[in-house]
């Protein structure tokens, strides 16, 4: 699915042939070096930052004009990152970063072999100042707030770069490039750009397409002259993480029409093919990411990520992450749970508990019905893990929002669901979701199961691709320029669709023939 990118690195190591000076050839050291580099790269434009110039004569002379150089291509020019004695190790590294609101994932790449050398992640330390985008934008508008948010992230990122360097026994100065994909606000905070206008009508980012920026200007502690590529955004609510996702999916190359969905706090949807790309974002509700349901949480050890209700006995078979005693349930587990409850007849098509089918599992707490998913004996906490009617209602609103967005975007451009050849699910969340369960609750359309494909962390994948290949990098900008962003118009028609989609799987059952087949006869 990922297009095969030829070996077209935009960050390279070369060994230029440099003639030592003579009385007959008195070319300056810098010009001499640039001449060798231009010849090696067969280019006319090579630029060198002024800060590197004074080092050139020393390193050339110390190594008898036998050096290797690291360069990157930006615009129509190649730019020198560094010079090394030619006897040194040739390996250079890069970092690709998925800059999440909650979690930052850093991948260490070998820029020569293009292999992943290591990967690690950490909680975005800006969480301390606010868990979500809006609180951080608000914090940034306070005196010194923006600097604080950027500093927190940069310090933590630099710490992680130190850890990765040490663990892999490499010098941070051999890290010669970085790519960063994140939502528009996270990218603004990373760059130290004021996000004030992002959340205010008409929702304008400071910048859509940042140029390559030198790491030293941002304070990222890798080679100071190395380029940082920040993936471009289409607007305040459609960020570089999605551009990375489209790149990673390869949908922009395919003749057939695909859908890409990234479910987080927002559900971001891209529909398109090699001829056109449409994007749309809407609130999917936090229920899918944990936090709303009393037992909902992010994926982690002991978290229920899969659940099956034995049709005959009504027994709950659960799978937890790392097979630890259950502590809670994550989004994908919740979707399974809801689907299983529906198939077992324990909730009706409105999502309401059916008392006589739930047997002894129902409790009433503060006047609200709760279903015991894990008994206090079996749970890691010693307390019952329950799902309340309110939790279900929240999840139904989320799934209805998702389905309505999908319906709306396909209707807008007159594409029927049948025409969707691939349905890509991006994000860590997506990798755990069982499409059959998601179809059962009517969250996603009733397409053949093989249409669905989970792509994992496409933000990181796309960022890595853009760092490793010039054509992949170019494609990111082409994707950005091609994409049409549709602002969701929450009008009466949308609300009607939304109301119809709050049922399980939908008021119009004919849209979900498979679910009819899966229901016990």
Which residues of the chain form contacts with a copy of itself (CB under 8 A)? 21-31, 45, 47-48, 50-51, 53-54, 56-57, 75-77, 191-194, 196-197, 201-211, 213, 217, 233, 235-236, 485, 487
The conformational region for residue 71 under phi > 0 = left, psi -120 to 50 = alpha, else beta, is beta
Residue 235 vs 326, nearer CB to a copy of itself: 235
- The answer to whether the beta carbons of residues 460 and 107 sit under 8 Å apart is yes
Smallest gap, in angstroms, from Cβ of residue 156 to a copy of itself? 21
Residue 32 vs 399, nearer CB to a copy of itself: 32
Smallest gap, in angstroms, from Cβ of residue 44 to a copy of itself? 10
Residue 53 vs 380, nearer CB to a copy of itself: 53
Smallest gap, in angstroms, from Cβ of residue 225 to a copy of itself? 14
Beta-ladder partners of 259: 271, 423
Would strands 93-99 and 328-329 be described as parallel, antiparallel, or unpaired?
Answer: unpaired
Beta-ladder partners of 120: 106
Q: Burial of 355 by CB count in 10 Å (0-12 exposed, 13-18 middle, 19+ buried)?
A: exposed
Smallest gap, in angstroms, from Cβ of residue 30 to a copy of itself? 4
Residue 2 vs 283, nearer CB to a copy of itself: 283
Residue 205 vs 326, nearer CB to a copy of itself: 205
Residue/partner pairs of 115-123 with CB below 8 Å, 24 or more apart: 116/464, 117/93, 117/168, 118/164, 118/167, 118/168, 120/160, 120/163, 120/164, 122/156, 122/160
Residue 74 vs 456, nearer CB to a copy of itself: 74
DSSP state of 323: G
Smallest gap, in angstroms, from Cβ of residue 192 to a copy of itself? 7
Would strands 77-85 and 67-74 be described as parallel, antiparallel, or unpaired?
Answer: antiparallel
Location of structure tokens 């699910």 = 425
- The answer to whether the beta carbons of residues 387 and 293 sit under 8 Å apart is yes
- The answer to whether the beta carbons of residues 217 and 444 sit under 8 Å apart is no
CB atoms within 10 A of CB 55: 11
Smallest gap, in angstroms, from Cβ of residue 315 to a copy of itself? 52
Residue 221 vs 422, nearer CB to a copy of itself: 221
Smallest gap, in angstroms, from Cβ of residue 211 to a copy of itself? 7
Tokens of 327: 């502590």
Smallest gap, in angstroms, from Cβ of residue 304 to a copy of itself? 40
- As a whole number of angstroms, the distance between CA 38 and CA 401 comes to 55
Residue 79 vs 369, nearer CB to a copy of itself: 79
The count of C-alpha atoms lying within 13 angstroms of the C-alpha of 219, restricted to the half-sphere facing its C-beta, is 14
Tokens of 258: 């695909």
Smallest gap, in angstroms, from Cβ of residue 26 to a copy of itself? 4
Helix (H) or strand (E) holding 175: strand 175-182
- As a whole number of angstroms, the distance between CA 140 and CA 193 comes to 9
Residue 81 vs 447, nearer CB to a copy of itself: 81
Smallest gap, in angstroms, from Cβ of residue 95 to a copy of itself? 19
Smallest gap, in angstroms, from Cβ of residue 112 to a copy of itself? 28
Residue 223 vs 249, nearer CB to a copy of itself: 223
Smallest gap, in angstroms, from Cβ of residue 209 to a copy of itself? 6
Residue 68 vs 480, nearer CB to a copy of itself: 480
- The answer to whether the beta carbons of residues 385 and 295 sit under 8 Å apart is yes
Task: Measure the CA dihedral 270/288/302/260, to 10°.
Answer: -10
Alpha-helix runs per DSSP H in 377-445: 389-412, 427-432, 435-440
Closest Cα to residue 10, out of 91, 99, 89, 70? Answer: 70
Smallest gap, in angstroms, from Cβ of residue 75 to a copy of itself? 7
Residue 51 vs 516, nearer CB to a copy of itself: 51
Residue 3 vs 53, nearer CB to a copy of itself: 53
- The answer to whether the beta carbons of residues 206 and 252 sit under 8 Å apart is no
- Four-residue CA torsion sign, 484, 489, 492, 498: positive
- The answer to whether the beta carbons of residues 218 and 191 sit under 8 Å apart is yes
Residue 77's SS3 state is strand
- Secondary structure E strands in 321-376: 328-329, 362-365, 368-374
- Secondary structure E strands in 183-326: 213-214, 227-230, 257-263, 266-272, 277-283, 303-309, 316-320
- The answer to whether the beta carbons of residues 196 and 131 sit under 8 Å apart is no
């Amino acid at each position: 699915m990922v297009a095969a990118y030829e070996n077209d690195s935009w960050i390279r190591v070369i060994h230029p042939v440099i003639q030592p000076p003579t009385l007959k050839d008195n070319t300056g050291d810098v010009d001499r070096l640039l001449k060798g580099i231009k010849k090696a790269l067969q280019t006319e434009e090579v630029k060198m930052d002024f800060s590197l110039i004074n080092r050139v004569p020393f390193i050339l002379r110390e190594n008898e004009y036998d050096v290797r150089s690291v360069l990157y291509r930006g615009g129509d020019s190649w730019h020198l990152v560094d010079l090394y004695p030619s006897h040194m190790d040739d390996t250079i590294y890069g970092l690709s970063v998925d800059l999440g609101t909650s979690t930052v994932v850093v991948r260490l790449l070998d820029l020569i072999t293009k292999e992943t050398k290591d990967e690690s992640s950490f909680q975005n330390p800006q969480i301390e100042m606010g868990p979500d985008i809006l609180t951080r934008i608000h914090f940034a508008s306070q005196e010194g707030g923006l600097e604080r948010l950027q500093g927190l992230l940069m310090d933590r990122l630099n710490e992680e770069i130190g850890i990765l360097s040490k663990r892999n026994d490499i010098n941070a100065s051999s890290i010669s490039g970085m790519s960063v994909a994140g939502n528009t606000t996270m990218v603004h905070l990373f760059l130290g750009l004021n996000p004030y206008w992002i959340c205010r009508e008409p929702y304008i980012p400071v910048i859509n397409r940042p140029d390559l920026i030198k790491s030293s200007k941002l304070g990222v502690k890798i080679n100071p002259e190395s380029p940082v590529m920040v993936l471009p955004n289409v607007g305040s609510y459609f960020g570089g993480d999605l551009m990375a996702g489209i790149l990673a999916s390869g949908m922009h190359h395919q003749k057939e029409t695909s859908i890409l969905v990234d479910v987080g706090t927002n559900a971001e949807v891209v529909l398109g093919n090699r001829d056109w790309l449409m994007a749309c974002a809407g609130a999917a509700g936090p229920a899918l990411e944990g936090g709303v349901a009393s037992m909902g949480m992010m994926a982690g050890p002991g978290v229920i990520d899969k659940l099956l209700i034995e049709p005959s006995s009504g027994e709950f078979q659960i799978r937890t992450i790392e097979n630890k005693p259950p502590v809670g349930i994550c989004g994908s587990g919740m979707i399974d749970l809801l689907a299983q409850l529906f198939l077992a007849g324990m909730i009706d098509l409105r999502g309401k508990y059916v008392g006589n089918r739930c047997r002894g599992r129902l409790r009433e707490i503060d006047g609200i019905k709760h279903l015991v998913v894990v008994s206090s004996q079996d749970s890691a906490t010693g307390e019952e893990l329950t799902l309340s009617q309110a939790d279900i209602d929240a999840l139904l609103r989320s799934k209805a929002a998702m389905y309505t967005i999908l319906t709306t975007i396909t209707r807008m451009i007159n594409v029927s669901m049948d025409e969707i050849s691939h349905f890509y699910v991006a994000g860590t969340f997506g990798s755990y979701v069982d499409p059959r369960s998601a179809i059962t609750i009517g969250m996603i359309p009733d397409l053949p199961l093989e249409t669905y494909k989970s792509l994992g962390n496409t933000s990181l994948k796309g960022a890595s691709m853009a760092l490793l290949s010039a054509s992949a990098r170019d494609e990111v900008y082409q994707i950005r320029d091609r994409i049409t962003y549709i602002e969701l118009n929450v009008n009466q028609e949308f609300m009607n669709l939304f109301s119809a989609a709050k049922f399980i799987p939908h008021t119009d059952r004919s849209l979900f023939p498979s679910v009819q087949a899966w229901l016990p006869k």
